[in-house]
Structure 1
Amino acid sequence: MHYYDLKQDLALVDKKDNIVGRIDKWEAHKKGLLHRAFTIALIYKDQIVLQHRRHPVFDGYYDLTCSSHPVYIGDILQTFEQGFYTTLKREWNLDEGNIQKMEDKGSVYYQAKDPNSIYGEHEICHLLVGEISLFPSPNYEFAYGFSLVSKKSLLDKKNPLRGSFAPWVPLLLDLL
């Protein structure tokens, strides 16, 4: 079974990121219900690893290194750290030992409808930044490709990639 077909529950939250319930992942994305998420930015030799998303929501857009959600395992919601390492293993074949340091840079609130699917995002999205010395090996089930971009280039409003960013990326750039 493909990862996107797995039954997973996410944390429903209010605008202050307080948990107010739980919901099936795809129901949350169809109905536009506010839920908790995270985006990871990995830094490799002063370059940020970008992912060209292969995903049912905002497919083909550029993301930071990857994005996902803490999910419930039974009745327990994953911590950001658990979700961070699970996602990096799944999408980039990286283990905990490959990350030199990880830092939570804060969060943003946003809502966006995917113009090419029945889904949308409505999230409190936390930015987690990690440094790596070993270049990751992308899992092409989750990415069409990747790019390495300097922080300066990423922040440049004239960068041609900016028109292809997933809607949460420009908001998170302010936290980098």
Structure 2
Amino acid sequence: METVVLVNESDVEIGLMEKMEAHEKAMLHRAFSVFIFNRKGELLLQQRALRKYHSGGLWTNTCCSHPRPHEDIKAAAHRRLREEMGFDTELVKAFDFTYKAEFTNGLTEHEFDHVFIGTYDDLVQPNFDEVENYAYRALPLIEAALKNNPDFFTEWFHIAFPKVVSWLAENKS
């Protein structure tokens, strides 16, 4: 049984709940999203496996999940990057946001989402139980696809992607 960490609007832990129950009851819980770019500035997108419990087959950021109880959020992001995409790289915490999205199957994502950003140019070895496909894409192409084919992307990606683009612009080195 997989458990998620329930939090309040300030990301203070208030309890634990079985993952599916939390999604059935729309309980706010801790999550993370990882955005990996190559040196050309292209984002590594993931197409979620078709059999996922929601948003199967939709395109999204490089990986995302929930930390385990008592697991450091950044450590969880590294763990899940290895589990889903078959690699690890340095990650920087960029920002966090809260969102709520209802799905046609009756589940609701209500997450306090911590966003991490990294750079990677080597071999990607996705876990095909989690990932249907993957591709690096330039930001203008992603922006156009979000506008022209919004149903091809996950709910949280629509919210997080523009925030990541803004963060990148503000944090150029």
Question: What's the TM-score once normalised by structure 2's chain length?
Answer: 0.85
- In the other structure, the counterpart of 2:68 is 71
After TM superposition, where is structure 1 displaced by more than 6 Å over at least 4 residues in a row?
A: none
Match among 12, 15, 26 for residue 18 of structure 1: 12
Secondary structure (helix, strand or coil) at the match of 2:136 reads strand
Q: CA 1:158/1:135 → structure 2, altered by over 3 Å: closer, same or farther?
A: same
Residue type of the alignment partner of 1:106: F
More strand by share: 1
8 Å CA contact 2:87, 2:123 repeated in 1: no
> How far apart are residue 161 of structure 1 and its match?
4.6
Match among 141, 156, 163 for residue 168 of structure 1: 156
* Residue correspondence of structure 1 range 16-165 to structure 2 within 5 A: 16-45=10-39, 46-54=41-49, 55-72=52-69, 77-95=70-88, 99=89, 101-115=90-104, 117-156=105-144, 159-165=147-153
Residue type of the alignment partner of 1:36: R
Instruction: Give unmatched runs, 5+ long, in structure 1.
Output: 1-6
Residue type of the alignment partner of 2:66: H
Quick one: percent identity of the two aligned structures? Answer: 23
Question: What's the TM-score once normalised by structure 1's chain length?
Answer: 0.84
Structure 2 CA distance for aligned equivalents of residues 25 and 40 of structure 1: 20
The superposition leaves residues 18-74 of structure 1 with CA deviations (integer Å, 9 ceiling, x where unpaired) of 1111111111011111101011111123211111112212112111011101112xx
Secondary structure (helix, strand or coil) at the match of 2:160 reads helix
- In the other structure, the counterpart of 1:8 is 2
> How far apart are residue 157 of structure 1 and its match?
6.6
Q: Please tell me the root mean square deviation across aligned C-alpha atoms, in Å.
A: 1.7
Q: CA 1:131/1:112 → structure 2, altered by over 3 Å: closer, same or farther?
A: same
Q: CA 1:160/1:146 → structure 2, altered by over 3 Å: closer, same or farther?
A: farther
Structure 2 CA distance for aligned equivalents of residues 157 and 91 of structure 1: 24
Secondary structure (helix, strand or coil) at the match of 1:174 reads helix
